[in-house]
Amino acid sequence: MRSPPEKVFEYFASIRADDGEVFMTPADLMRALVPVFPPSESNLVRDGYLRGERRPGELHCAPSNFFMLFDTNSDGLISFKEYLFFVTLLSIPESSFSVAFKMFDLDCNGKIDREEFKKVMTLMRAHNRQGAVQCTGLRAGHKLHGSLENGGLLEYFFGKNGKDLLEHDVFVQFLRNLHDEMVQLEFAHYDYKLRGTISAKDFALSMVASADLKHLSKLLDRVDDLDNQPNIHNIRITPEEFKSFAEIRRKLQPFSLALFSFGHINGLLTRNDLQRAAQQVCGIYLTDNVLDVIFHVFDTNEDGSLSSDEFVRVLQKREKDIAHPTEAGFFSFLSCCWHCSNANSISAKMLSS
118 and 267 assigned to the same domain: no
Q: What is the rounded CA–CA span in Å between residue 35 and residue 274? A: 24
Structural domain includes residue 87: yes
Q: What is the dihedral of CA 308, 310, 313, 315, to 10 degrees?
A: -70
Q: What is the pLDDT along the chain (353 residues), one digit of tens a residue?
A: 456 777 888 888 889 888 888 998 877 887 787 777 888 877 654 433 334 444 544 556 566 777 778 776 667 788 887 787 788 777 777 777 788 788 878 788 889 898 888 777 666 555 434 333 333 333 444 554 444 444 577 888 898 888 999 998 888 898 888 888 888 888 988 998 889 999 999 999 999 887 777 888 889 999 999 999 999 999 999 999 999 999 888 888 788 777 777 665 556 788 888 898 889 888 999 999 999 999 999 887 888 888 767 788 787 777 666 554 444 444 454 554 444 444 444 333 333 43
Structural domain includes residue 188: no
153 and 216 assigned to the same domain: no
Q: How big, in percent rounded to 5, are the helix, strand and coil portions of the chain?
A: 55, 5, 35
Structural domain includes residue 224: yes
CATH of the domain at 263: 1.10.238
Coil, strand, or helix at residue 344? helix
Give the distance from CA 71 to its chain's centroid: 18
Residue 313's pLDDT is what? Answer: 79
153 and 206 assigned to the same domain: no
171 and 232 assigned to the same domain: no
172 and 202 assigned to the same domain: no
173 and 208 assigned to the same domain: no
Helix 213-224 and helix 200-208: axis angle, to 10°?
170
Residue 114's pLDDT is what? Answer: 87
220 and 313 assigned to the same domain: yes
Q: What is the rounded CA–CA span in Å between residue 319 and residue 316? A: 5
Phi, psi (rounded to 5 degrees) for 208: -100, 0
CATH of the domain at 116: 1.10.238.10
90 and 230 assigned to the same domain: no
- Whether the CB-CB separation of 21 and 13 falls below 8 Å is answered with no
Q: How many domains does the chain have?
A: 2
Structural domain includes residue 218: yes
Segments forming the whole domain that contains residue 275: 198-321
Q: What is the dihedral of CA 184, 187, 189, 193, to 10 degrees?
A: -120
11 and 159 assigned to the same domain: yes
Q: Give the CA count within 13 Å in the CB-facing half-sphere of 147.
A: 6
148 and 251 assigned to the same domain: no
Structural domain includes residue 327: no
99 and 15 assigned to the same domain: yes
224 and 168 assigned to the same domain: no
Instruction: Provide the 10 A C-beta neighbour count for residue 145.
Output: 10
Residue 52's pLDDT is what? Answer: 43
